[in-house]
Chain A
Amino acid sequence: MEENQNRQDVDLKRIEEELVRGLSGLDNSVEEESRGLDWFERYTAHQIQHIKKKQHRDNWLFAFIGLTVLCFVLFTLYSSPKIFILIQIAVFLLILIYGTLSSSRKRGRQL
């Protein structure tokens, strides 16, 4: 019984050692990249810009949804929800028209 346990322990120890050796081999097989900090700074700056844009967009979306809910509640309480839905459709159409116009203007500038 004890002998069996000892053999299992030895097996496990060897597996652990082989794992460490194999994983170290993985590390060594990766050639070190000698790219300087300039490249990384550019990459980070680009990423930060991208993330800030995304956060800005998300903030606007969040504000828009929040306002919509608030207005709906206020209109339902003090006026008619029908009026609110009509206003909402009008606002949505305006945003849609603005989006289409600005993107077509951008395309025009690129050409």
Chain B
Amino acid sequence: MEDKVLIRKAKRGDQQSLAVLLHTHYPFLFKYCIKLTMNKYTAEDLTQETMAKAIEKISLYKGEAKFSSWLITIATNVYVDSKRKNSRYQLWRQEQIHQRQMRWQIEYHNEDWNDTMQVLGTLSDNMRIPIILKHYYGYSYADIAEMMNKSEGTIKSRVHNGIEAIRKELKADGRESK
């Protein structure tokens, strides 16, 4: 069944349609969450929290954006809110642990964990989230601006500054090939 039909039914209170809809988008959302958190278990928690929010707010979904984009918007907001609640030191420690675990998991699966990924993990969320949405998911600056509730200019400069920061960091570490 098409997403539009499922959404219409879900908004009318059909629980089965809602379950099918969320089940279909679960892997996509989980993979986005893993890129945000860089940790499997935190990503699972974030995915579930996002799902709960989506169930709660399904009646407010207007259908202007794609359903997957709507889920990304919710997940991003939940993630940013949860980070605001933790102290800076706790966050720094958590991020270090998460990155090490993620690197181990990726190398265990014989996947590529390059220096660029390492530097990406050290960037602030303000830069990292727009970079992931722009360069991996291919969203336009306008879409990202709407998702993150910021102006298009801000998003453009954050993506640019983020990529520039990665370039400088790689250069400083002498890892960039000449």
Contacts and interface: CB of A to CB of B under 8 A. Distances in A.
Contacts of B131: 19
Interface string B110-122: 0111111100100
Given A28-B109, A47-B51, A23 B27 contact: no
Contacts of B30: 30
A interface bracket (residues with beta carbon within 8 Å of B): 20 to 34
Interface residues of B, number: 40
Contact of B135 (A11, A19, A25): A19
A22 B112 contact: yes
A51 B136 contact: no
A2 interface: no
Interface of A: 8, 11-12, 15-16, 18-30, 32-33, 37, 40-41, 44-45, 47-48, 50-51, 55
Interface of B: 15-16, 18-20, 22-23, 26-27, 30-31, 34-35, 40, 51-52, 55-56, 102, 105-106, 108-109, 111-117, 120, 131-132, 135-136, 163, 166-167, 170, 176
